Amino acid sequence: MRSACLMIIATTFCVAIGSVSSQPKLPSLDLAFFVRRVEPIFLEKRLSHTRCYVCHVESNNAFRLEKLAPGSKSWTDEQSRRNFETVSILVNPGDPATSRLLLHPLAPEAGGDVFHSGGRQFASKADPAWKTLAAWVNGAKLDAPGK
Ligand code: HEC
């Protein structure tokens, strides 16, 4: 009986220690930042490159964007939420350097993946669009719409 009690105390103590010394909390991905800053990157034309959207709308790879309504230049709230869920799976919050969304379209000499059918959309990590994607992955927030 006594040893069972000690076991329980020891276990509780270890669990408490474990939660104190666990990894720092990962940043959470912000939907508002995604809608206002990240989604436009998927739609915008970059010099000598095809837009992400052209190849990734309803694509059969993991980066699959919702189809815009005819004549519409942006996604509905519901579509954006679905895009957010799809794209969130392609990133590691707090770690842009290992996030597929950022590595796949990045030039290999800048640390990107060797091959992407969509080309080397970002020549380096200094590309403003790449930096915006990285900021989102690092948990950048937009509090109010229109910011
Ligand atoms: C010319 C067409 C084309 C364009 C433009 C394009 N892609 Fe791609 N992308 C592909 C194809 C095809 C694949 C799947 C085969 C491969 O990995 O190359 C792919 C794969 C990916 C993947 C990996 C998906 C998976 O299944 O793991 C990511 C992430 C990605 N693209 C991001 C982007 C981003 C971000 C842009 C715009 C900055 C972009 N792509 C533009 C054709 C394109």
Instruction: Determine if ligand 1 sits within 6 Å of the CB of residue 101.
Output: yes
Residue 140 pLDDT: 97
Look at residue 128 and tell me whether its pLDDT is greater than 80.
yes
Residue closest to 42 by CA, chosen among 19, 72, 76, 65: 65
Per-residue pLDDT averaged across 19-47, rounded?
A: 88
Look at residue 90 and tell me whether its pLDDT is greater than 90.
yes
Instruction: Determine if ligand 1 sits within 6 Å of the CB of residue 11.
Output: no
Instruction: Determine if ligand 1 sits within 6 Å of the CB of residue 53.
Output: no
Sorting pLDDT into bands at 50, 70 and 90, what band is 88?
very high
Which ligand 1 atom is the nearest neighbour of the CA of 51? 5
Q: Can you read off the two tokens belonging to residue 69?
A: 């309504």
Per-residue pLDDT averaged across 53-76, rounded?
A: 97
Instruction: Determine if ligand 1 sits within 6 Å of the CB of residue 43.
Output: no
Look at residue 78 and tell me whether its pLDDT is greater than 50.
yes
Residue 147: C-alpha distances to residues 9, 17, 74, 80, 135 (Å): 51, 41, 17, 18, 15
Per-residue pLDDT averaged across 105-119, rounded?
A: 97
Q: Can you read off the two tokens belonging to residue 123?
A: 């020549």
Per-residue pLDDT averaged across 91-111, rounded?
A: 97
Per-residue pLDDT averaged across 140-146, rounded?
A: 73
Look at residue 126 and tell me whether its pLDDT is greater than 70.
yes
Distance (Å, whole) CA 49 – CA 93: 27
CA of 63 to the centre of ligand 1 (A): 7
Residue 32 pLDDT: 97
Residue closest to 64 by CA, chosen among 31, 28, 90: 90
Residue 28 CA, distance from chain mean position: 10
